[in-house]
Chain A
Amino acid sequence: MKTVDLVERIEGEAKLICSWKNNKVSDARIDFLNFRGFEYILEEKSPLDALIYTPRICGICGQAHLKATVEALENIYENINEKIEISNKAKLLRQIGLNIEIIDSHIKWFYLFIMPDIIKLNSSDLGIYAPLKGKRWLEACKTASETIKALAIIGGQWPHTSYMNVGGVMSDPTRMDLINMQNYLQIAIDFFEDSVSGVSLEDYLSFDSLNDLEKLDKDMKYFKDLCFKYHLNVYGKSHNRFISLAESNLFRSGKIKQKIVNKIDLSKIAESNEYTFSLNEKENISKKHTWSKLVTYNDNFFETGPLARAIISNRRFIKELHKSFDDSVFTRVMARVDEMAFLINDTKSLISQIDLLENSFIKPKISLNDIEKASGLSVVEACRGSLYHKIDIENGKIKAYDVITPTVWNLGPSNKKEKGIAQKAIIGSPNIEIAKIVLRSFDVCSVCTTH
């Protein structure tokens, strides 16, 4: 038997096609059927224009795209031995912006996107979690709106900011601005303590064992109890292989297959469009079924995202959960919520490290328009995982632009050798509700995936 279902409450829509055997999903396919063609649009444009285009790939992770673009362009200078100077202040302001965007996204994702489905397993009345009217739903929205203001102060607005530029950032915050940013982050901390975890941020950050699960209160406890009741600590397991491409204050880069974290060699990343629709209609033969490409590292599929980051960066609590529950829905969602706590804490400290006397921007000596031929690439940890941008320029114009988003790692199609990450995780689900929760646990973004 085959079923076709739709997954909404994500950015865009995904189609989930399941085959069933003995009342379990025996095979799954995920189709993304919306395409805009950003990589084609970027060709022949002036390199700096990419700073305007790429953030608009996604209304949720535009910061990540902006940062990836600016760093790919800066990498071009490095590759032609004209390394440019970026002040520490600019680096901090970029990282702070990105962190805030991820915090905002995690809050929303937990309450707006995944909780309703998990609660529905248990009751038809979502109560305070009901979209558009539940008290907690509204509180979560409000907290996200307040938190993102910390970014709007330096970015000018959110979504779709453009404050980063090759050579630094355009914003020059004042002492007052920094204080306001800290205050907005405090709202996120209060929400985390009062409603998300029910424990103080400090206590939470010290969690390092399975027993600490018992200390959770409020929504994380509610979530945990429902997970155990409906076996979400068992469902949703994939290849148990993780990758994280970029480094930051908080995150390490690396890949992990068994136990040991290995260094990344970006040249081992390979993209394929074997199953991906083409702009040339004649090439759309029957095996092509989605606009998403697939991406492998050293010929293997790897999961990216908060769970991968927690494991590779050695965050104790999540590593302990992973030991007992592997890469299940439970662990994956916990990793995302856990990351929220670490990021808020980290971001507060980054803001306090800003030296207002430093320059925000240092002009590069030569213009990108004068470069004959060069390429640059960058990796960034975005809300949903590792984002990769590669840009080739020729005679001052973009020759080719390649974007590999986190969701392509997690939700791209299978290849001949093995199942894709999310597909493998869905197989074995006992019903369509669980199958959709497993899919959702990857924080699906259709528009990013297909761009």
Chain B
Amino acid sequence: MIDSTQMVKKIFTQKSGRVETNKGEEYYNSLFEKAKSRLKSLRVQPALRDVDIMDVLETEGVNRRDFMKWVSATTATLMLPPMFAPLVAEATELMNRVPVIWIELQDCAGNTEALLRSSAPTVDDLLFDVLSLEFHHALMACAGHDAEHQLDEAMEHFKDKYLLFVEGSIPTGMNGNYGTIGPAGETFQEHLMRLSKDAAAIVAVGTCATFGGVPAAAPNPTKAVGVMDLVRGKPVVNIPACPANPANMVGVVLHYVLTGQIPELDSLLRPKFAFGYRIHDNCERRAHFDAGEFVEEWGDEGAKNNWCLYKVGCKGPMTFNNCSIIRYNEGTNWPIGAGHGCIGCSEPDFWDKYAYQRPMANANIKPPTGGVERTVDEFGLGLLTATAIGIGVHAVASVVANKKSKEEEEK
């Protein structure tokens, strides 16, 4: 386990992972053309499910304006300029050209639950009607041996074309016997290998599938690992968080439909559009952080006034994720909104490093500007403002959230 002082030191001195939101006109123009021809070629392909998104939306009483609102928000989430909105709308219609197979391994079904909980603009429809979910263990009509057949058929039929979504980690201890599936008792590892072989790309959803998750917490009794530790020679996209945000799952699929490629990833294989900035950069309590107004203990006046949760263990400054912008349950709320700190669930090892009752605030750390080690309180909160933590990230994320004006960005 990493010593917390060391960790905090590292966090406040590391460079922010800067996301390039503006890659220049030339880049976007060529991407635009590419996407256009990709969509054109998809359109001539037969639909896997005979559903028209516009019909679906209409019958569900979602008007075109609401749909376009969703489209522009999604375009922004994908960090694409507004000119891409019509293409994103079109890609949504064509989502039924991309087959998806979803498997559950050593999981809690939390990501499936999260997926079921997303519906803007009735994404129920987007996902369930339009997206061609060819196999999902929990959400299908057939079961038992029929289900096995359906899976084999989908694999055969969509060879090299399907996106494989994986939920849950993979136990490697005891020859894989901590998790087996199917009548023949295939281990989770064998199952994953067999299914990923013919996939176009693999999307690991949730912290279990990406980094091993809670099952991998010390002493990791089943020797659980994530997908990227096992699968080689295939594109892997990680969408960590516990649970992963459905908006990001949809985002990855849309990006794939739009460009035929997986989105740009960071060194941990996370899409930059979602994990390019920190919780802290767009937190609604950020102004209180900057002003040095902290909740000192649960239930105090600060807590009642929604002050910053850093001193009671918020890990927002160390956690890369976009939940401070898109929130959960269709934007209803998110952990910090309800009054408890971020637990860093999208970071590797969060289960051992960040479990929330360990404030980082009283660890001795070195100010990013150099000088003597002091605690966060001592060295002054001014230092920990946007300037010190990384204006780059903060600015970029704010643009995405449409919070900052253009002039400000230019300064």
Interface residue ranges, A against B (CB under 8 Å): 4-13, 15, 33-38, 40-41, 44-46, 48-49, 51-53, 56-60, 62, 108, 112, 116-117, 120, 126, 130-133, 138, 141-142, 144-145, 148-149, 152-163, 165, 167-168, 170-172, 279, 281, 359-363, 432, 436, 447
Stretch at the interface among B67-75, B77-85, B329-337, B394-402: B329-337
Q: Which 4 A-B pairs have the closest CB atoms?
A: A59-B110, A361-B299, A156-B338, A37-B221
In the bound complex, do residue B214 and residue A41 qualify as a contact, i.e. CB atoms below 8 Å apart? yes
Residue on A nearest B183 in the bound complex, by CB? A4
Residues of B within 8 A of A44 (CB): 218
In the bound complex, do residue A36 and residue B330 qualify as a contact, i.e. CB atoms below 8 Å apart? no
In the bound complex, do residue B298 and residue A170 qualify as a contact, i.e. CB atoms below 8 Å apart? yes
Residue on B nearest A6 in the bound complex, by CB? B144
Residue on B nearest A145 in the bound complex, by CB? B117
- Looking at B113, B128, B334, the one whose CB has the most chain A CB atoms below 10 A away is B113
Stretch at the interface among B87-95, B350-358, B360-368, B375-383: B350-358
B152 at the interface (CB under 8 A from A): no
In the bound complex, do residue B338 and residue A163 qualify as a contact, i.e. CB atoms below 8 Å apart? yes
A51 to B357, CA, bound (A): 9
In the bound complex, do residue A447 and residue B139 qualify as a contact, i.e. CB atoms below 8 Å apart? no
B282 at the interface (CB under 8 A from A): no
How many chain B residues have a CB neighbour from A under 8 Å? 78
B219 at the interface (CB under 8 A from A): yes
A contact face: mostly helix, strand, loop, or mixed: mixed
Residues of B within 8 A of A120 (CB): 141
A167 to B214, CA, bound (A): 25
- Looking at A11, A15, A112, the one whose CB has the most chain B CB atoms below 10 A away is A11
A159 to B118, CA, bound (A): 12
B181 CB, nearest partner CB in chain A, Å: 6
In the bound complex, do residue B124 and residue A49 qualify as a contact, i.e. CB atoms below 8 Å apart? no
Residues of B within 8 A of A141 (CB): 116, 119, 124, 128
Known: A9-B137, A59-B243. A157 touches B329 (CB 8 A): yes
Q: Which of B51, B108, B140, B343 contacts A9 (CB 8 A)?
A: B140
In the bound complex, do residue A132 and residue B128 qualify as a contact, i.e. CB atoms below 8 Å apart? yes
A156 to B299, CA, bound (A): 16
A405 to B278, CA, bound (A): 37
Stretch at the interface among B172-180, B193-201, B227-235, B255-263: B172-180
A161 to B114, CA, bound (A): 12
B123 CB, nearest partner CB in chain A, Å: 10
Task: Give 19 new A-B contacts, CB below 8 A, not counting A4-B183, A158-B113, A159-B243.
Answer: A12-B107, A33-B179, A34-B181, A37-B215, A46-B358, A53-B214, A56-B213, A132-B129, A138-B128, A142-B119, A145-B118, A148-B117, A149-B329, A152-B328, A156-B328, A156-B338, A162-B340, A167-B298, A361-B303
Residue on A nearest B174 in the bound complex, by CB? A281
A6 to B218, CA, bound (A): 32
B54 at the interface (CB under 8 A from A): no
